[in-house]
Amino acid sequence: MPLPAIFRPLFDFALPPRCPVCGLTVEADNRFCLSCWQQLHFLVRPWCDACGLPFAFDRPDDSRCVKCLANPPDHDGVRAVVRYDDLSSLIAMRLKYGTRLGLAKLIAEHLQKFVVQPSSNMVIVPVPLHAARLWRRGFNQSVLIGSELSKYTGIEMSYNAIYRCKITPPLKGMTAKQRQRIVDKAFALRAGARSTLSGKSILLVDDVYTSGSTSNACARLLKQAGAEQVLVFCWARVINELETG
């Protein structure tokens, strides 16, 4: 239930809004302090049309990096808010491990800028957790982000279009080939998913984009169900120093 306006000043005095990174008092909820804001590496164009890798110099919007030209991904692009680093990772980790579930709203607020023209042809699909992991954790951070993005944009979210049918170990520290091998056949389509996804533009929501293995596995399924386009929406994108645009 929303807090009555008459009590809001008292509530803010007792529990003032704080920067989600450093805890410094800020002017409103889900706002960064100036120092943390300046240290975040927000991703803007120009970037690779296929994987969202930022380019160092201006290029046409449909340009692709060398890696994507040689091995195109199964999805159709990545829209990430920030570069994954020590600072931005705190937001993802605090949401993922349940200490700050409200950060889903912060992430969705930034992601909505990538939705230029919301339409009934769009469907939000969160990357699923395996049922056993969901039971232990109690929530799926991608569903939380997707739900908030749906509220901001009015785009319908499909919770059950795809599901994770195989438990996979944590992928952190693995190579791209190892990740791809592990997530292969880890997802499946729900019964009736084709009627929901056919001809649609899918916003595939996740917290972090690393190698693209998980996103590609999901994108292949979504396109098998008739999706016309799959765009990956996430808070942060990992960018290796060896990657160049």
Domains and CATH numbers, the chain: 41-237 (3.40.50)
Pairing outcome for strands 187-189 and 162-164 = antiparallel
Report pTM: 0.90
Structure tokens at 104: 């889903």
pLDDT at residue 14, rounded to an integer: 52
- In which band, very low, low, confident or very high, does the pLDDT at 1 lie, cut at 50, 70 and 90? very low
| Number of Cβ atoms within 10 Å of the Cβ of 167 | 11
- In which band, very low, low, confident or very high, does the pLDDT at 7 lie, cut at 50, 70 and 90? very low
- Distances in Å between the alpha carbon of 106 and those of 50, 60, 92, 100, 156? 25, 30, 11, 11, 19
